Structure 1
Amino acid sequence: MLRGNDGKILIVVIAVVLVVACSVVGVAVISKKPHGKKSKVPDGPVSRIAMGELIVNLADTNEIRYLKTDIVLEIQGQIPAAEGGEGGEGGDSGIKTPLRDAIIGILSSKKFSDLNQPGGKDEIKKEITTAADKQLENAKVTAVYFNEFAMQ
């Protein structure tokens, strides 16, 4: 058996080994990267793209209803530059046309009652964000703003 100082030395050695082991495990856990989905969008400039005025028929079947809106998308990341042959309004990036098309598809699928209920506009903003993110490869929509929103 251990006597006197030998027992104390053994206890100190065990304590040091435990402290080192706990430190190694702690560092490994803290430095471990999360397994969640990595953002494919690097930090980049924030810009706003005005979608312009949009007028769409709503999906109501018993009445003819329409929505007139003006939407601006706030986008973080690299927006593709316009390439030749893009048609449409001059000066926009080549991404504006597919973004407008996606937004028109979402808006025209809604009924007046969907948009008029509490939280209706927020739900539309979420859907627009999701659809626009699918169109953007190196950027992400961070906000959707309505400059106008009128239904009849």
Structure 2
Amino acid sequence: MAEEEKAQEEKKGGKGKLIFLILLVLILAAGGGAAYKFLVLDKKKAAETKEKQAEKIIEEIKATENVGVMFDLGTFVVNLADPDIERYLKVSIVLELKDQKVQQEAQKRLPEIKDAITTLLLTKRSSDLRTPEGIEYLKEEIAKRVNAILPLGGVKNVYFTEFIIQTG
């Protein structure tokens, strides 16, 4: 009987050791997996991110090398559409055009272009133009209107060299 108890205890002890060893192996495997992730995979992701950033910088440099023809439209002074008080906008606009042909066409249609921009500016309220988003939207609207006037389009960008909102 004592021998049977000893055999059962050895079986229980053997099972306990086996469970302990399995748990130890699982913990070591999880630790190894975590170490691999932090040491290898994260470094790969960081390297890929750096490569993408470098490619983006190269694209930006190439984009600046392809600067179009600058066409100065001059300064516009208009009343804004604020109902409560008279406010004035003074803005100087330079268009970046695709090439010399577009510049020649813009020169021919300068009165139309200035009229379209003046008409657009007269519809704006000062609250529309006090945020960076509002100013960017105005640039987009100007580009669309001028491109609609030019037969082949050609406005690449709109720049404000002066932008003043004055209360009167």
Give TM-score scaled by structure 1 length: 0.60
1:67 aligns with 2:89: yes
Residue equivalent to 1:26: none
Residue equivalent to 2:111: 97
Deviation at 1:80, TM superposition (A): 6.5
Q: Which runs of 5+ in 1 are unaligned?
A: 1-44, 83-91
**Aligned-pair identity (%):** 35
Aligned residue identity for 1:69:
V
SS at match of 2:78: strand
CA deviations over 1:90-119 (Å, ceiling 9, x no partner): xx8212111111111111100000101241
Question: Are 1:80 and 1:95, in contact at CA under 8 Å, matched by a contact in 2?
Answer: no
Residue equivalent to 1:25: none
Q: 4+ residue runs of structure 1 moved beyond 4 angstroms?
A: none
- Structure 1 pair 113/138, CA: closer, same or farther in 2 (3 Å)? same
Deviation at 1:132, TM superposition (A): 0.5
Residue equivalent to 2:142: 128
Residue equivalent to 2:128: 114
Count, aligned residues? 99
- Structure 1 pair 58/81, CA: closer, same or farther in 2 (3 Å)? same
Q: Which runs of 5+ in 2 are unaligned?
A: 1-66
Residue equivalent to 2:18: none
Q: RMSD of the TM alignment (CA)?
A: 1.9
User: RCO higher in 1 or 2 (8 Å CA, sep ≥ 6)?
Assistant: 1
SS at match of 1:61: coil
For 1:139 and 1:127, locate their aligned partners in 2 and report how far apart those are by CA, in whole Å: 14
SS at match of 1:79: helix
Structure ID, larger Rg:
2
The structure that is helix-richer by fraction is 2
Q: How does 1:3-22 map to 2 (within 5 A)?
A: none
